[in-house]
Amino acid sequence: MKQIKFSIIFFLTFLITSCSNDFDLTEDSDPIPVVYGVISHQDTAIYIRVEKSFVSETVSGKDLAQDATNLYFDDIQVVIRHNKTGKEYVMERVDGNQEGYQRAPGAFAEAPNYLYKLKRTEINLIPKDEYQLIVRKNDGSTVCESKTTILAAMTDENSDVPIPSAQSKLSFVYQNPLNVSFFPDPNGVIHDVIFRIHYREVKNGEEVKKSIDWHAGVNVTNKTGSANSQYLFTTVGRNFYQFLAANIPANDPGNPIVRIFDNVDLIIISGNKPIKDYISIGLVNLGITSSGEVPVYSNISNDGRGLFASSSTFIREGMVVSSSTLDSLRRGIYTKQLNFK
């Protein structure tokens, strides 16, 4: 049976570009707030999606969903509060379609695509501090709220990712293990390990820079070490070459492309416990013996639905690979047809 996986990076994008229809949106006649937001102190802007349920005894759900006036509150204020100081920051309602976050095609109206935005120049999220999302009506009453603690990002300055070291060369040997070991913020409990592979293509004398992301580790939660604070992801070198072979077109001798390998960025995306719970509950009852009933996770108050959480991203750019890795790229059984030189 095909294994079902959820990637953090895909999940974070999904929250902004789509609207969940996993919820029963017809519980009663009162609108149910549906809220999604994953915030990071590294982002240039915070975006929060706030929508509402809808119900009608005379109009079909399909028709209701295509009318944007049924999706959004017109009488609310969305606020981020720094709980340590009590300072509140009012978010601006914007059209996500104009912000580079086009709504994914589907059952719901694609335009307008309202989100609530707060620029980093307006709020300085402090790692390890708690922030509260509050949705209020214009009369001051609370529609719903949620809290999350901001994840601190890992850095090379703090030696948070000791394996592989920043000075080492990545070596992908077919049968040998490649380990990635790291010490995240204690509140970071689920992680994706990504290798961003940079190379160039030369065709008819023209050179084009390209990159491709290998999501080598998805939803990593394995720990190692006596302190139980170190996470470990392990793969084997063969998977690196098989990924490239499956995702880069083979060279056509009649119209040849010369490829030149440059370097690799190591990226680790971390999420806190609400993200882990959201993903874990989504995996419940999806197996061959499942009941078919998928439970819903939400950390939004007042019977609201959705998620308010925090993430962080570690990026180590420009890692070089070993000479043996380059040789395997050129001549190995999986990638020799890609024409790396």
The domain segmentation of the chain, as residue ranges, is 8-152+272-310, 177-270+316-338
| Helices (runs of H) and strands (runs of E) counted in the chain | 5, 15
User: Which conformational region is residue 241 in: left (phi greater than 0), alpha (psi within -120 to 50 degrees), or beta?
Assistant: alpha
Q: What is the pLDDT of residues 175-226, one digit of tens each?
A: 999 999 999 999 999 999 999 999 999 998 899 999 999 999 999 999 987 7
Q: How many CB atoms lie within 10 A of CB 128?
A: 12
Task: State how far the Cα of 115 lies from the Cα of 46, in Å rounded to an integer.
Answer: 10
Q: Which two tokens stand for residue 37?
A: 């937001």
Task: State how far the Cα of 51 lies from the Cα of 114, in Å rounded to an integer.
Answer: 9
Q: Which two tokens stand for residue 97?
A: 């379609």
* pLDDT for res 21: 42
* pLDDT for res 104: 80
The separation between CA 113 and the C-alpha centre of its own chain, rounded to angstroms, equals 20
Q: How many CB atoms lie within 10 A of CB 92?
A: 12
Contacts of 83 by beta carbon, 8 Å cutoff, 6+ apart: 129, 130, 131, 132, 147
3-class state of residue 97 by DSSP: helix
pTM as predicted: 0.88
* pLDDT for res 111: 83
Instruction: Return the DSSP state at 138.
Output: T
* pLDDT for res 27: 41
* pLDDT for res 108: 73
Task: State how far the Cα of 93 lies from the Cα of 96, in Å rounded to an integer.
Answer: 9
3-class state of residue 330 by DSSP: helix
Q: Which residue has the tokens 């390890």?
A: 128
* pLDDT for res 227: 75
Cα angle 334, 7, 235 (rounded to 5 degrees) comes to 40
* pLDDT for res 53: 79
* pLDDT for res 28: 43
Catalogue the E-assigned strands of the chain.
33-39, 45-52, 76-82, 87-90, 92-95, 114-119, 130-137, 142-149, 177-182, 190-203, 206-220, 223-224, 230-236, 258-271, 305-319
Task: State how far the Cα of 50 lies from the Cα of 114, in Å rounded to an integer.
Answer: 8
- Residues in the chain with pLDDT values less than 50: 1-6, 19-28, 289-291
Contacts of 4 by beta carbon, 8 Å cutoff, 6+ apart: 283, 286
Q: For 163, phi and psi rounded to 5 degrees?
A: -130, 120
DSSP line for 276-325: HHHHHHHHTT-STT--S--------STT-EEEEEEEEEEEEEEE-B-HHH
Long-range contacts of 12-15 (CB under 8 A, 24+ apart): 12/38, 12/269, 12/311, 15/49, 15/307
Q: For 70, phi and psi rounded to 5 degrees?
A: -85, -10
Q: Which two tokens stand for residue 153?
A: 């990002």
3-class state of residue 209 by DSSP: strand
